[in-house]
Amino acid sequence: MLNNSLPDLGQGAVAEGKEMKQSLIGQGIISGIVASLQAKLVGVPIYTEKVEQDAVKPYLMVKLQSVSHDQRMNGRFARGYTFDIELHSDTYAQAYEWLEQMLEVLVEIEAEDGPLRGTDVKAEMKEGVLHVGVSYVVQLMKQTAKPPIMQQLEQRELIAQGG
């Protein structure tokens, strides 16, 4: 069950060769992560904003940790999104059991514009909370204004006289 609803963002993450949309791509990826985790870990609350003060364990917290933006050639960009998914559980055994399921899911998620492959997936236990890190790279192409098409062509004929 998703406790913080995400707005409908229209077109989000775009695959290589598609044009860059005017939307929040990171939110589209978060929606894909949440949907994938909900399908695998049924009944586990998943938060995306802040956790309620009286939240009962177990629950997940999905946070965007960092974004990188690298310019490529011909108006192409590679934008990387790194996420931290906190797993708050009652026992370490339960946390590690869910970790195995989460690793299967995070390798490839279904984002708004198609599948995204997770990279740099890693997990670490800190102060009783299991932190799972994953990165997704989105290939973008900047929209450019096309030059106007010529409406008329004026042609003049000249005949050269040999001489």
Give the tens place of pLDDT for each residue, 31-82: 999 999 999 999 999 999 888 788 888 999 999 999 999 988 888 899 999 9
What pLDDT digit, counting tens, does each position of 109-124 carry? 998 878 999 999 999 9
Query: Pseudo-torsion of CA 132, 101, 30, 70, nearest 10°?
Result: 60
- Percent of the residues in the chain that have a pLDDT greater than 90, as a whole number: 52
In a domain, 49, yes or no: yes
Tell me, yes or no, whether 152 lies in a domain. no
Q: Which domain holds residue 30?
A: 25-141
| Token pair for 4 | 């913080």
Using pLDDT thresholds of 50, 70 and 90, give the confidence band for residue 26: confident
As a whole number, mean pLDDT of residues 21-37 equals 83
Residue 18 — pLDDT band, cuts 50, 70, 90?
Answer: very low
- Model's pTM, two decimal places? 0.72
pLDDT of residue 134: 97
What pLDDT score was predicted for residue 163?
58
Distances (CA, A) of 29 to 13, 68, 138: 7, 15, 10
Helix%, strand%, coil% for the chain, nearest 5: 20, 35, 45
Query: In this structure, is residue 50 part of a structural domain?
Result: yes
User: Is the residue at 69 inside a domain?
Assistant: yes
The count of domains in the chain is 1
Output the pLDDT for position 141: 85
Place of tokens 């929040």: 24
Higher pLDDT, 156 or 134: 134
Residue 134 inside a domain? The answer is yes
Q: What phi and psi values does residue 161 have, to the nearest 5 degrees?
A: -95, 125
* CATH number of the domain enclosing 31: 3.30.2000.10
Please indicate, yes or no, if residue 162 is contained in any of the structural domains: no
In a domain, 10, yes or no: no
Q: Is residue 7 one of the residues assigned to a domain?
A: no
